[in-house]
Amino acid sequence: MHIDEDKLPNDLDEAVDMLMLAMDEDDRASIARHLAATDDKLLGSHFGVGMYLRNNWNLWEDSPISRWFIKELKICHADDMSGIILDAFCHKFQGRSYDPHALAVRYHQHWDAYYGKNSADKMINEWKTSHKVSDL
Protein backbone atom coordinates (compact mmCIF):
# COMPACT_ATOMS: atom_id res chain seq x y z
CA MET A 1 0.00 0.00 0.00
CA HIS A 2 1.46 3.33 -1.04
CA ILE A 3 -0.40 6.22 0.59
CA ASP A 4 0.29 9.68 -0.82
CA GLU A 5 2.25 11.30 2.01
CA ASP A 6 1.94 14.79 0.48
CA LYS A 7 -1.84 14.92 0.87
CA LEU A 8 -3.96 14.92 4.00
CA PRO A 9 -7.67 14.07 3.83
CA ASN A 10 -10.25 16.64 4.83
CA ASP A 11 -13.02 14.21 5.77
CA LEU A 12 -13.91 10.54 6.08
CA ASP A 13 -14.82 10.08 2.42
CA GLU A 14 -11.48 11.51 1.28
CA ALA A 15 -9.62 9.33 3.78
CA VAL A 16 -11.31 6.16 2.52
CA ASP A 17 -10.80 7.16 -1.12
CA MET A 18 -7.10 7.76 -0.46
CA LEU A 19 -6.75 4.29 1.06
CA MET A 20 -8.62 2.73 -1.87
CA LEU A 21 -6.32 4.49 -4.35
CA ALA A 22 -3.21 3.43 -2.44
CA MET A 23 -3.83 -0.28 -3.04
CA ASP A 24 -2.32 -2.35 -5.80
CA GLU A 25 -3.66 -5.75 -6.88
CA ASP A 26 -1.56 -7.61 -4.30
CA ASP A 27 -2.93 -5.36 -1.54
CA ARG A 28 -6.49 -5.97 -2.72
CA ALA A 29 -6.01 -9.74 -2.75
CA SER A 30 -4.37 -9.72 0.68
CA ILE A 31 -7.08 -7.55 2.23
CA ALA A 32 -9.84 -9.66 0.66
CA ARG A 33 -8.31 -12.85 2.14
CA HIS A 34 -7.87 -11.19 5.53
CA LEU A 35 -11.43 -9.86 5.65
CA ALA A 36 -12.85 -13.24 4.63
CA ALA A 37 -10.89 -14.96 7.42
CA THR A 38 -11.65 -12.41 10.16
CA ASP A 39 -15.37 -11.75 9.93
CA ASP A 40 -14.98 -8.57 7.85
CA LYS A 41 -12.57 -6.81 10.24
CA LEU A 42 -9.02 -5.62 9.76
CA LEU A 43 -7.80 -7.27 12.94
CA GLY A 44 -4.39 -6.13 14.09
CA SER A 45 -4.62 -2.90 12.12
CA HIS A 46 -4.65 -0.65 15.21
CA PHE A 47 -0.85 -0.75 15.48
CA GLY A 48 -0.19 -1.03 11.76
CA VAL A 49 -2.21 1.02 9.32
CA GLY A 50 -4.14 2.63 12.19
CA MET A 51 -0.95 3.98 13.77
CA TYR A 52 0.24 5.20 10.37
CA LEU A 53 -3.02 7.13 9.88
CA ARG A 54 -2.95 8.63 13.38
CA ASN A 55 0.61 9.84 13.02
CA ASN A 56 0.84 10.75 9.34
CA TRP A 57 -2.63 12.21 8.87
CA ASN A 58 -2.23 14.30 12.03
CA LEU A 59 -5.21 12.76 13.80
CA TRP A 60 -3.62 13.69 17.15
CA GLU A 61 -3.35 17.33 16.04
CA ASP A 62 -5.58 20.18 14.95
CA SER A 63 -5.99 19.14 11.31
CA PRO A 64 -8.80 19.36 8.77
CA ILE A 65 -9.77 15.71 9.25
CA SER A 66 -9.66 15.86 13.05
CA ARG A 67 -11.91 18.93 12.91
CA TRP A 68 -14.26 17.04 10.59
CA PHE A 69 -14.52 14.19 13.10
CA ILE A 70 -15.23 16.62 15.92
CA LYS A 71 -17.84 18.62 13.99
CA GLU A 72 -19.60 15.71 12.30
CA LEU A 73 -19.30 12.85 14.79
CA LYS A 74 -18.24 14.47 18.08
CA ILE A 75 -15.16 12.23 18.02
CA CYS A 76 -11.87 13.75 19.15
CA HIS A 77 -9.70 10.76 20.10
CA ALA A 78 -7.27 9.76 17.35
CA ASP A 79 -7.66 6.03 18.07
CA ASP A 80 -11.41 6.36 17.51
CA MET A 81 -10.88 8.35 14.32
CA SER A 82 -8.53 5.75 12.84
CA GLY A 83 -10.94 2.98 13.84
CA ILE A 84 -13.80 4.69 12.03
CA ILE A 85 -11.62 5.29 8.95
CA LEU A 86 -10.61 1.62 8.82
CA ASP A 87 -14.17 0.44 9.40
CA ALA A 88 -15.46 2.69 6.61
CA PHE A 89 -12.64 1.45 4.38
CA CYS A 90 -13.63 -2.20 4.99
CA HIS A 91 -17.23 -1.45 4.12
CA LYS A 92 -16.32 0.37 0.90
CA PHE A 93 -13.79 -2.31 -0.06
CA GLN A 94 -16.59 -4.88 0.19
CA GLY A 95 -19.14 -2.67 -1.56
CA ARG A 96 -21.28 -2.26 1.55
CA SER A 97 -22.93 0.95 2.74
CA TYR A 98 -21.60 2.59 5.88
CA ASP A 99 -22.97 4.93 8.52
CA PRO A 100 -20.14 6.41 10.60
CA HIS A 101 -22.65 7.82 13.08
CA ALA A 102 -23.58 4.32 14.24
CA LEU A 103 -19.97 3.51 15.14
CA ALA A 104 -19.54 6.95 16.71
CA VAL A 105 -22.38 6.10 19.10
CA ARG A 106 -20.46 3.01 20.23
CA TYR A 107 -17.37 5.13 20.90
CA HIS A 108 -19.47 7.66 22.82
CA GLN A 109 -20.92 4.87 24.95
CA HIS A 110 -17.41 3.58 25.65
CA TRP A 111 -16.19 6.99 26.85
CA ASP A 112 -19.40 7.62 28.79
CA ALA A 113 -18.60 4.51 30.84
CA TYR A 114 -15.30 6.10 31.88
CA TYR A 115 -16.08 9.81 32.04
CA GLY A 116 -19.81 9.90 32.64
CA LYS A 117 -22.72 11.07 30.54
CA ASN A 118 -21.96 13.50 27.70
CA SER A 119 -18.29 12.57 27.73
CA ALA A 120 -17.96 13.65 24.09
CA ASP A 121 -18.64 17.28 25.01
CA LYS A 122 -16.16 17.10 27.89
CA MET A 123 -13.50 15.49 25.71
CA ILE A 124 -14.01 18.03 22.93
CA ASN A 125 -13.64 20.90 25.39
CA GLU A 126 -10.41 19.34 26.68
CA TRP A 127 -9.22 18.87 23.08
CA LYS A 128 -10.00 22.50 22.24
CA THR A 129 -8.11 23.69 25.33
CA SER A 130 -5.06 21.52 24.74
CA HIS A 131 -4.89 22.50 21.07
CA LYS A 132 -5.68 26.17 21.75
CA VAL A 133 -8.67 26.05 19.42
CA SER A 134 -11.69 28.27 19.84
CA ASP A 135 -13.32 28.22 16.41
CA LEU A 136 -14.99 24.84 16.16
Sequence ranges of the domains in the chain: 12-130
Name the nearest CA neighbour of 103 among 117, 122, 124, 82.
Answer: 82
Give the pTM: 0.85
**CA angle 30–20–136, rounded 5-degree value:** 130
C-alpha 60/C-alpha 78 separation (Å) is 5
Q: What local confidence, expressed as pLDDT, does residue 45 receive?
A: 53
The whole-angstrom distance between residue 20's C-alpha and the CA centroid of its chain comes to 14
Digitized pLDDT (tens) for each residue of the chain, 136 residues in all: 666 667 899 999 999 999 988 878 887 788 777 777 666 555 445 445 778 889 999 999 999 999 999 999 999 999 999 999 988 988 898 888 999 999 899 999 999 999 999 899 999 999 999 999 888 7
Q: What is the DSSP letter of 116?
A: -
Give me the pLDDT at residue 41, please.
56
